[in-house]
Amino acid sequence: MAMKHDVFEKLGLPEKPVMLAPLAGVSDIPFRLISTMHGADLCYVEMLSAAALIYKSERTFNMAKRHKDEKVLGVQVTGRNPQETAEAVMILDSMNFDTIDLNMGCPVRKVVKQGCGSAILKDPKRVYDTVALCRKYTSKPFSAKIRLGWDHDQLNVKEVTQAVLDGGADWITIHGRCRSDRYEQPVLMDKIIEVAESYQIPVIANGNILTPADGHMVNSQEPLSGMMVSRGSLGNPWLFNQIKCPQTKEPGIDEWFSTVKKHLAWFAETYQDQPHLNVCMRKHLLWYTSGWVGAKELRNRINQLKELAAMMTALEEFVSSLKAKHDSHLRRFDLHKRPMSDFSWDPKYDMDRVLDRGVGDDKMDSLTT
């Protein structure tokens, strides 16, 4: 039997929560609202840089905004050393977040070069020092997100988990790959399960949860305390409810379009004073349209557009023509294979290298480079 975790209860989460990962350049207010609407139990703000928080970067504080309708919200931070990270945690503790996560898994070169993200994994003592010091500055539910190790010669997930546990974190999220792995490498779910069986800390599994069947498999593993969905949710927020409620079907065209319109509306509301960011909506539309027959032309058209109204017109025309040509009961993926079941898919190629930058700290550059 899975243990009942007080910390999840305290956050108002179900026993085995299905979470949306912090996703640089993606998990902004509109995407979090959409994910919540479709069943995500807990969402996270994109990873923030501890240095940027301490130096009061306006961009970082903008990324850390919370929508009034977000009932529960997590934030993630990474720092260059325990002191800097703890100072940032103290700042985050005073802000409007329900839970704080430490990023110890980001593989991006410029992040790692500063000693942040997965660089921390190389030194379990530093993991312990960071978690233990941060723990002193927050009484909120507090976690760490790690990988299995730096590379396959340094698979130190057990030592790192022990350090996170000893440091006083409430749970740990494990992405079942090493820093050296790209998405082509499989996720070692057995290793995550082994850790969950061996340590007295709730373990959230992450990596390659791309289809409802992947989620059901994770749910069936008793030692695991929940899961964190990442790429699987891109253009496919229905995945959350499909995981939680196996009889949930793929959306039909009307249901699909109503979600896309809602996303556009929340995007417009969030960024109304920054129209140059409209192009950041394009990647979501590219992801949403995959799975529909005949969407290639639409995607090419959307890629040229800079106005949300024009994107909406293109979508309306697409939906009308799809309805005219096909049975109105057509569901997404009915005629196409699910593209996201290809686990080597890397979303960075759909993202804007400048505007979709993550982290919010100019010094750190993009998470998606």
Ligand X SMILES: Cc1cc2nc3c(=O)[nH]c(=O)nc-3n(C[C@H](O)[C@H](O)[C@H](O)COP(=O)(O)O)c2cc1C
Binding segment (CB under 6 A) for ligand X, from list 21-29, 276-284, 285-293, 328-336: 21-29
User: Considering the complex, what minimum distance in angstroms separates the CB of residue 211 from ligand X?
Assistant: 11
Binding to ligand X by residue 231, rule CB under 6 A?
yes
Stretch that binds ligand X, among 18-26, 84-92, 256-264, 307-315 (CB under 6 A): 18-26
What burial class does residue 62 get, using C-beta atoms within 10 Å of its C-beta: 0-12 exposed, 13-18 middle, 19+ buried? Answer: exposed
Number of shown-chain residues binding ligand X (CB under 6 A): 25
Judged by CB under 6 A, does residue 82 bind ligand X? no
What DSSP assignment string belongs to 200-221?
SS-EEEES---SHHHHHHHHT-
Decide: 202 and 5 in contact? Cβ < 8 Å.
yes
Contact 194/231 with Cβ under 8 angstroms?
A: no
Spatial CB neighbours of 160, under 8 Å, sequence gap ≥ 6: 104, 121, 124, 127, 146, 149
> What is the contact mask toward ligand X in residues 138 to 157, using x (rule: CB under 6 A)?
-------x------------
Q: Which stretch binds ligand X (CB under 6 A): 17-25, 51-59, 269-277, 283-291?
A: 17-25
What would the x/- binding string for ligand X be over residues 239 to 258, using CB under 6 A?
--------------------
Beta strands in the chain (DSSP E): 18-20, 43-44, 48-49, 73-78, 99-104, 142-149, 171-178, 203-206, 226-229
Residue 74 as a binder of ligand X (CB under 6 A): the answer is: no
> Which 201-220 positions form the footprint of ligand X (CB under 6 A)?
206-209
Q: Are 343 and 186 in contact (CB under 8 A)?
A: yes
- Measured from the CB atom, the residue of 140 and 231 that comes closer to ligand X is 231
Residue 47 binds ligand X, judged by CB under 6 A: yes
Does residue 292 contact residue 336 with C-beta atoms inside 8 Å?
Answer: yes
Can you tell me which of 25, 212, 237, 360 binds ligand X, judged by CB under 6 A? 25
Whether the CA torsion 251, 254, 258, 263 is positive or negative: it is positive
Q: Is 175 in the site for ligand X (CB under 6 A)?
A: yes
Nearer to ligand X, 23 or 295 (CB): 23
Paired strand residues for 252: 331
Judged by the rule CB under 6 A, the positions of this chain that interact with ligand X are 21-26, 46-47, 76, 103, 105-106, 145, 175, 206-209, 230-232, 347, 358, 367-368
